[in-house]
Each structure stands twice: as structure tokens, then as C-alpha cells.
Structure 1
Amino acid sequence: MTATPAPRAARFLAILGLFWVAAPALAATHPGQAELVREVASETGKDPRALNSLLDGAQMQQSILDAINRPAESKPWKDYRPIFLTDLRISDGIAFYRQHRALLEQIGKQYGVAPQYIVAIVGVETNYGRITGKYKVLDALVTLGLYYPPRATFFRNELKVLLELPDSHLAGPLDTLTGSYAGAQGWGQFMPDSIRDFGVDADGDGRIDLQNSLPDIFASVANYFAQHGWVDGGPVAARAQPDAAARPIAVQDANPQWPLEQLEAWGYAPLQALSPAQPTSLQTLVGPSGPEYWFTFQNFYVITRYNRSPLYAMAVDQLATAIAAGVAQADAAP
């Protein structure tokens, strides 16, 4: 039997009804959300409705916008250093190292990264796992990726990667994850692309859990360093003493640019024995007594791949050095 064509009005109402059924799945709470969902769904096959539901639940947070405009790295070294190089943070780091020594040294040996630097990273980032961040990761990345034009490209990409990560790369359901105002997660404060590229399931449970698994946390930090070119046993930073005629040197980043002997020729003397051919850069920091000059090497540069601030890298190095010294002293005690 041939169906009788529906009247024009009925067809219009039917089309309108379909529109209202589909509209909730296509609605976007945030600017740029629809395009982002289309990209993620196209590249991963994930359900657009589920992606929209996640993003609809995220909130733009003014406190996040406020926080990104007053980073600690804007402070001079004389004010930045006391934040991280306290007696308590050093003693806690020594105790943390000794408590987890077997695991730290096994992972350090596996990746060729001195264990005290793994400890120093989690010490600087989260005070040894005590302060991993109060913001919902989705809120942070939606706020900065979709409402913060100065760095929207970077943070939108991090939001996209977060949405693309499989569940096995996350510590829990995506909409429950918390972290820093910048969207970094776990004890080592990994951004989503770092979880994707450098996260390690070291405990073999099928999940990269940077919030609850110490093997995963330690191995992921060590792997990050190793993949960025950490030199096992290599120097990080050493104090330099300029003479009265030292040549002013401007550096754009911490990438070693000259052999140490070239900097010596320009008037900067090392205060300890170092290889003259060692590739080197120079950092000038504002210390409590005036300018401080530091030779920095490949491993210092690697730390700046974790956080590009030379203040951060110097704090990690000095905390790691203090922790190693404290552990050695404890070992030597009767």
C-alpha cells in the first residue's frame, strides 16, 4: 500500500520536532565549544553528545584568570628562592627520599636520572603530593583555552588533548580531576600533552595514574627528563664570578650556547673544577646581595623544558642538591 504524502504543515512540524530533539546535543555553553567538539569527535570517534555534556559542566572561573596574571615566576630570585628552599621543605624532601628510596633509586637507574631531582620536582610542584591543586582541570582549561586570548592557542590545545586522552591515561573520571589553575595534574603537575607523551604506567595496572601511584609518578617525571635529553651524572648549574671587565651577555633561554672556556675568555670564572669544553649558558639572577651569575648546562635546560622559568630550574637544582646532601649525611650518621 502506498503511503499518503503528509500535508505540508505536518511535514514542517515534523522537521521542527527533529530540530528540537537535535538541538541540545549541538548547543554550546562556551565560545568555541562547538568547533572543539567537532574536532575531537572527528579525530577520535568520541560521542559529541558526551563531549558537550562534559564541557557544559565546566565553568569559567575568574579566579583562574586572576591567578595566571600573577605567577610566582614574576618575582626576582631573592623573593622566589625562599618559597621553595625552606628548612622544612628540605627536611621533608630528605625524609621522603629515605622513605621511598628503593623505588626512587630503581627508577632513577632505569631512566638515568638522579633520584634527588625526581624528589625535588614533586617537592617544588606539590610539596611532596600534599598540594596538587583545588581547581577542576576542565574548569581551568576551559577558562584559559576559551576565555583567555593571550594564551588561548596553548591552552585550547591542552583542553583538546585532555578530551582526547583515553580513560587509561587519567587518574579518574575526567570531570572529577583536580589540579592547578593552569590545568596541571598529579604530584608532578603534568599538563595533558605531557601525560600523553611522557606518562608511564610503571606499576603495570593498565592505567597512568599520576595522583595515586608513586611508581607512575616517579617514572613519568624521570621519563620526561630522559626524553628531553637529561645527561646522567652531568652538571646542572655552577656559580660564576665575573671580573671587572666581564662582557655583558644576553641569553634568550637556557639552551647551552658556548663552551665554558668561551665564557671564561669573556670574563666569567668558574668557582669549581669544570670541563673547559662543557657546553654552557649563563644566567644572571637578582639575589639578596645583588646580581648572581651562574653557569648552566644541559640538565638545567632540561628542567626548563618542565617549566621554562630559570628561577624554577634553579630552585629544583638547589632543592635536589640539599636533599642529596641531607640523605648522605643521614647515611653517614652512626
Structure 2
Amino acid sequence: MSEMLGDSVNKHFWNRTLKLGWVLWAVSSVAWADDVSDMRYSERPEVVAFAEDLIRQHDFGRGELLGLFKAAERQQAVIDAYKKPAERALRWDEYRPIFIQESRIAAGAEFMREHAEILARAEAEYGVPPEMVAAIIGVETRFGRYKGKHPVFDSLVTLAFDGQERRRAFFRKELKAFLLLCREQGFVPREVVGSYAGAMGMPQFIASSYRAYAVDFDQDGRIDLFDNVEDVIGSVANYFQRHGWRAEGQVVTPATLAQNSQAKAVGRGRTGMKPETPYQDYRGQGVKAAESLADTEEVVLLHYLDGEEDLYYLGHHNFYVISRYNHSSMYSLAAWQLAGMIAERYSQRQES
């Protein structure tokens, strides 16, 4: 009985010790997390390592770079905004009115009138219609009226080191691209403002896109996407061309589904929008296009919820190209529909 009592006491002792150990571990983990969030970015080991890589690979000045990180402030509003973009939370009938508005259509037609010569030159060079370029600029910033108010450097630092774990690698690449862009274009890193995700200027290019696709369309020796409309128009058109825009190509075709159709459609997600299925395959699954399509035309079935009504479209190659600007099927359809309405309004004004 004494041995049993001893075993019971030992078990009780070790159970309490283990529980205490877990509590201390949890408390220390929380304290460590708090310590990290309270530390200046320039004091955090992963930030210092990131900075050292930039210094070694791209010859940044150590003092200047660490000074930037020392001054950087964590942007909680950026973290909160990134968690709930409209594309993931709204139905089509809720999302569409955000961009399809009379004021934006009218402003788009005026933008086309004011910059008709530049838009025509961009179409001649890149094959992208003026209304598509205008619609993108209209969707992104209302033709330059709202370019964002978040400090881009602080936003990217926040998302790169305190944002969603699965996206940190992406934002570290963007942070690197942003610092290189600032050096190339003569920007002061902490003075640049943009969206909560680090997009900049009238067309809201992220840093890597700015470096890869922005063009000096007016050939003044500088690429300015903040205030130079000519560079903005040329850069958006170049972005679309480089992603494979086909002049005169279709974008979407309305479709209907048979009641018992088992065809799988892309909803409001950010993947699966590449048209890789021949129309004849969809037709065999009860999908019918509202217009005549070749059986071999590769398309993707798209689904939108408009209140209680299901809407279906077949997305073509150019729809996929639009989705490279923003990886959302709702964004792509809204931008395309806005483009059509801008073009119609512009034509009406030209005729009157």
C-alpha cells in the first residue's frame, strides 16, 4: 500500500510539474510574441537578416537601410484590411455596384475624350482597346483621384514580417522590389503612399509590376505612374500585352446550364480561371453558350451569385488576362463590364 501511495504521489507530482511547464511555456510564448511586436523592426533578427541580404546582394548602405527599418511602424490597419478584401466576402450583386456606377462611367468617358490621342497610340502599340485601359484606371483609383494613403514601406514591412504566415515570403519579395524601385526612380521610401497592400500610383502597380511592366511612354527619361497620365496609359496597356492580350479577342460569353448539369464552375476564388477546357466538353455537360462558339475554343465556366439568381459565363483567354491584374473573377468581370459602358458613353458623346 505504501508503494501504491508513493506511485500516486509521484504521479500527482509529475502531473502538476507537466501542467506548470505547459503554463510557463504558454506564458513565455505570449510574452515572446509581445516582445517581438513591441520591438523596433531594426532589432528583430529576421529583419536584420533580410537587410543584410539586401546589403550583400544589392549594395545598399547599412546605416541608411537599418535606419529605414528603425523608423518603420507596424500598421495594424493594414493587417486587418488584408484579411477581408471585398472579393472574398461579397456576392456579385453586392460587389458590382462598387465599380459600376454612373459617376465612374461618366468620368471614364471624359478620360477617354481628354486622352484620346494617347489611348489611340497605346492601342496601336500594344493592341489593348482604350476603354479597357480606362476601365482599369477607373476601377483602381477613379482615374487618379484616390491613390491610397498608406505608407508603402511601412505596409510592406508589416505584411512581410507580421502578416499572414503564408504570404510573408511574397511580401518580402515585394519589399525588396520596392527598395530597388525607390533607388532606380529616386523615390524617398518613407514618402511613398499607396494601398494597404503596397500598390502605387494611378494604376496601382505593386513594386515588382512597376519594375517589370511600367514604361516611359512619353519618353521624358522617367517612369511616373503617380502623376504622368501618358506613362500610366502606356504601362497598363503594356501590362496587358505582356500577359497575352489578344486584339479583337473575346472576353466572356453568357451561358446557361441544364438543370442536371454536373459542370464545375469557378466562383469568386482567386484560382482556376485559366481557360483550358474546349467548349465541346462543357457542351457535353449541359453548358450552352448564348453565342456561337467553336467546339475547340478553350474556355472556363464562371459562376456568379446575383441575389438569388445564378449567373454563368464562359471566360475566354482575354478574361484570364484581365484576372492577372487582380486575381479575382469578380474584379475581372466588373472591369470588363465597366469598359463596355465607358465605350458606349464615349461613343454617344462623340455622336452628339
- With normalisation by structure 1, the TM-score equals 0.87
Whole-angstrom CA distance in 1 between matches of 2:44 and 2:347: 53
Residue 264 of structure 2 corresponds to residue 245 of structure 1: no
Q: Decide whether the 8 Å contact of 1:168 with 1:206 is kept in 2.
A: no
Q: Decide whether the 8 Å contact of 2:154 with 2:190 is kept in 1.
A: no
User: How many Å apart are 1:111 and its aligned residue?
Assistant: 0.6
Given candidates 55, 65, 68, the residue that maps to 1:54 is 68
Report the AA paired with residue 65 of structure 1.
I
Q: Decide whether the 8 Å contact of 2:202 with 2:225 is kept in 1.
A: yes
Of 138-147 and 258-267, more deviation after overlay is shown by 258-267
User: How many Å apart are 1:102 and its aligned residue?
Assistant: 0.8
Q: What is residue 299 of structure 2 aligned with on the other side?
A: 280
Identity score, percent: 36
Whole-angstrom CA distance in 1 between matches of 2:185 and 2:275: 34
CA deviations 1:239-296 (Å, max 9, x no partner) are 1011223233144511001122322222111112333332100111111341110100
Q: Decide whether the 8 Å contact of 2:255 with 2:290 is kept in 1.
A: yes
Given candidates 129, 139, 150, the residue that maps to 2:154 is 139
Whole-angstrom CA distance in 2 between matches of 1:195 and 1:30: 29
Q: For residues 169 and 261 of structure 1, do their structure 2 counterparts lie closer, same or farther at Cα, with a shift above 3 Å needed?
A: farther
- Number of aligned residue pairs: 306
Q: What is residue 345 of structure 2 aligned with on the other side?
A: 326
Report the AA paired with residue 102 of structure 2.
D
Given candidates 79, 83, 89, the residue that maps to 2:94 is 79
Whole-angstrom CA distance in 1 between matches of 2:111 and 2:71: 37
Secondary structure of the equivalent of 1:28?
A: helix
Whole-angstrom CA distance in 2 between matches of 1:272 and 1:57: 58
Q: For residues 332 and 273 of structure 1, do their structure 2 counterparts lie closer, same or farther at Cα, with a shift above 3 Å needed?
A: farther
Report the AA paired with residue 205 of structure 1.
D
Residue 186 of structure 2 corresponds to residue 167 of structure 1: no
Whole-angstrom CA distance in 2 between matches of 1:249 and 1:318: 24
Q: What is residue 216 of structure 1 aligned with on the other side?
A: 231
Q: What is residue 278 of structure 2 aligned with on the other side?
A: 259
**Unpaired runs of at least 5, structure 2:** 1-40
Q: What is residue 21 of structure 1 aligned with on the other side?
A: none
Whole-angstrom CA distance in 2 between matches of 1:278 and 1:176: 48
Q: CA RMSD in A?
A: 1.6
Q: What is residue 103 of structure 1 aligned with on the other side?
A: 118
Secondary structure of the equivalent of 1:306?
A: coil
Q: For residues 279 and 248 of structure 1, do their structure 2 counterparts lie closer, same or farther at Cα, with a shift above 3 Å needed?
A: closer
Residue 142 of structure 2 corresponds to residue 121 of structure 1: no
Of 190-199 and 243-252, more deviation after overlay is shown by 243-252
Secondary structure of the equivalent of 1:293?
A: strand
Secondary structure of the equivalent of 1:247?
A: coil
CA deviations 1:144-172 (Å, max 9, x no partner) are 011112411111110011112253436x3
Whole-angstrom CA distance in 2 between matches of 1:278 and 1:194: 30
Residue 209 of structure 2 corresponds to residue 190 of structure 1: no
Whole-angstrom CA distance in 1 between matches of 2:292 and 2:226: 41
Q: Decide whether the 8 Å contact of 2:265 with 2:300 is kept in 1.
A: no
Spell out structure 1 runs of 4+ moving beyond 6 A: none
Q: Decide whether the 8 Å contact of 1:168 with 1:208 is kept in 2.
A: no
**Unpaired runs of at least 5, structure 1:** 1-26
Residue 224 of structure 2 corresponds to residue 205 of structure 1: no
- With normalisation by structure 2, the TM-score equals 0.83
Task: Return the structure number with greater helix share.
Answer: 2
Q: Decide whether the 8 Å contact of 1:108 with 1:114 is kept in 2.
A: yes
Residue 52 of structure 2 corresponds to residue 38 of structure 1: yes
User: How many Å apart are 1:30 and its aligned residue?
Assistant: 4.8
Report the AA paired with residue 124 of structure 2.
K
Given candidates 86, 90, 99, the residue that maps to 2:105 is 90
